[in-house]
Amino acid sequence: MKLSIFFYSSIFLLFLTSSCSSPKKAESPKKEVYSTYKPLPSQVVLHYRLDKKIIRDTFNNAIAEIFKESFSIPDYDVKINFYKTNDANIEIEGKSVLVNIPVGILVEKNTMLVDFKAKGVVELTFITKFEMDSLWNFTSKTDLSYYKWLEKPILKMGGLQIPIEPLSDVIISKSKAMIVESIDDAIIENFTIKSTIQKSIQVFKEPIQLDPENGGYLTLTPSVIKLTSLKNSKLHSSGKIVFDLQSLFSTNKPVIHPGLLKTPALRWVENVNDTTVLRLVTQINMLDINTLVRKNFDGKEFSSQGKSFTMSNILINCDYENIRFVTDIKGDANGTLILTGKPKYDKKSNTFKTENIDIAFKTKNKIHKAAAWIAEGFIRKELTKMMTFPLEEKLDEIQNDINTQLKDINQEYNMDLKADLYSITSEHFEMKPGAIETTIKASLKIEAYIKDLRKLGAPIQKK
């Protein structure tokens, strides 16, 4: 569940840094426009493979105590002791678990004259069908579907050894109900899925501070969790987990409501897309952008044709249509530089850009056309470049950042988790007075090879 946090933070930090290093937006509002845009949810699809060894170990631990118990069958006045002669072999397909386990059986009957004992080994084949409802209530139903004798039971009485296989068959039939009930009880006791989910989901309650230095909070709200049935192969069992998430970015820390976060409903599905789609819905205030831009560009020098100026007192604002970038300059030109333009997202080039940029120069409360060495040539190109952000060029950088974060997760959880980033695009771009709203869509494939189930419930340790 924590995976989406890392991908969002990687994508967002690079987007915010680049876009905020460009001047942002314009002056007073011209008309009020009400947006009808409603973002689609994000969908994180985790392709997972479970090492069959950990499935066997988990299941064997769950049923270990069962075959240390004694059962009595009053009809025959006998006592039966079961004991494992080897670990169970486990196969999982869909919502069914096939268990083959060799079990030793000791049959004892005490009489006034003599004590009877018989020993044998039988291979029991159980089928456990499990189910979870939408509220994560886990149930299992086990049935003994087949058994065969590996060592037929022999009754030892004095110096005699008498085969008693027919009687032992009756004994297994009589004890079957007790065995399968004990298996179901052990499975439910050991597989505490509902409580684990309830605890794990609380990670989404706290907004994620993406950048402690520059601010920015990401809130992820899970609405539904979907599971596919397990598929069986020689070495692994595999399936998909799908998280439907609403995401919201804000520059100010959101209010945290008291109480526990509600556990999302569970749905079983058969057909799931292979691709994860993350939608980063951002609401960025100009006041916060100004703080970041001043930090990066206050004191920055531009030069061309042997002349230069340095920027200071930068101010950015926007309305519904335009952005305005205002900065004092000092050097070969002294005054206030004003850039105004119309930002847009160009779908074809997958680029945020600002068109029709007008550059004006203000001195002593008078606005002039900017000098040619500022308004044209190298400096104009540099200023225009500051207001251009090609998303495609950031793919490799974001992929490297994701790989770095996954390296820590893999080491912490003893797993092999990888994410291949396919594309980054914009689904929505909108300006309002003093704020920008945008939805960035990232498509990727997430795969995990899980080697240790016990570590998955623990939180990631901060380095």
- The model's pLDDT over 307-354, given as tens digits with 9 standing for 90+, comes to 888 989 999 899 998 988 898 989 888 888 888 888 888 999 999 888
**Radius of gyration over alpha carbons of the chain, in Å?**
34
For residue 188, give the nearest of 140, 144, 142 by alpha carbon. Answer: 140
For residue 353, give Cα distances in angstroms to 163, 291, 319, 343, 379.
Answer: 88, 21, 16, 6, 17
Contacts 24+ apart (CB under 8 A), 419-422: 419/3, 419/7, 419/276, 419/444, 419/445, 419/446, 419/447, 420/444, 420/445, 421/395, 422/275
pLDDT of the residue at 325 = 87
Answer for the pair 303, 329: CB distance below 8 angstroms, yes or no: no
pLDDT of the residue at 123 = 93
For residue 205, give Cα distances in angstroms to 39, 216, 221, 224.
Answer: 21, 16, 8, 15
Residue 427 φ then ψ, to 5°: -100, -20
* The amino acid at 348: K
pLDDT of the residue at 307 = 82
- As averages over each run of 10 residues, the pLDDT of the chain (463 residues) reads 45 42 38 62 91 82 76 75 87 90 85 74 93 92 92 71 68 81 84 82 80 71 92 88 85 79 92 90 80 84 82 90 89 86 90 84 70 60 75 87 85 86 92 88 92 57 44
Q: Which domains does the chain have, with CATH numbers?
A: 52-194 (3.15.20.10)
User: Any idea which residue has 């025959």 for tokens?
Assistant: 76
User: Any idea which residue has 């066997």 for tokens?
Assistant: 56
| Euclidean distance between CA atoms 41 and 277, whole angstroms | 9
pLDDT of the residue at 213 = 63
pLDDT of the residue at 456 = 57
- Range 12-51 burial, b when 16+ CB lie within 10 A, else e: bbbbbebbbbbbbbbbeeeeeeeeeeebebbbbbbbbbbb
Pair type for strands 217-227 and 389-390:
unpaired
Answer for the pair 302, 379: CB distance below 8 angstroms, yes or no: yes
Answer for the pair 188, 141: CB distance below 8 angstroms, yes or no: no
Query: How far out from the chain centre does Cα 240 lie?
Result: 12
pLDDT of the residue at 240 = 93
Answer for the pair 442, 280: CB distance below 8 angstroms, yes or no: yes
265: exposed, middle or buried (C-beta count within 10 Å: 0-12, 13-18, 19+)?
middle
For residue 378, give Cα distances in angstroms to 18, 98, 306, 353.
Answer: 20, 72, 12, 18
Answer for the pair 49, 238: CB distance below 8 angstroms, yes or no: yes
User: Any idea which residue has 């890392």 for tokens?
Assistant: 6
For residue 287, give the nearest of 257, 309, 314, 317 by alpha carbon. Answer: 317
Q: At what angle do helices 395-413 and 3-20 cross, to 10 degrees?
A: 150
pLDDT of the residue at 134 = 94
pLDDT of the residue at 159 = 62
Residues shown for the chain:
463
Residue 338 φ then ψ, to 5°: -125, 120
What SS3 string covers 14-47? Answer: HHHHHHHCCCCCCCCCCCCCCCCCCCCCEEEEEE
| Euclidean distance between CA atoms 349 and 339, whole angstroms | 23
Answer for the pair 51, 235: CB distance below 8 angstroms, yes or no: yes
| Euclidean distance between CA atoms 217 and 220, whole angstroms | 10
Answer for the pair 16, 296: CB distance below 8 angstroms, yes or no: no
Task: Supply the DSSP symbol for 230.
Answer: B
For residue 280, give the nearest of 253, 247, 250 by alpha carbon. Answer: 247
Write the CB contacts of 195 (distance below 8 Å, at least 6 apart in sequence).
none
**Cross-strand partners of 290:** none
What pLDDT digit, counting tens, does each position of 107-126 carry?
Answer: 887 766 667 788 889 999 99
Answer for the pair 376, 359: CB distance below 8 angstroms, yes or no: no
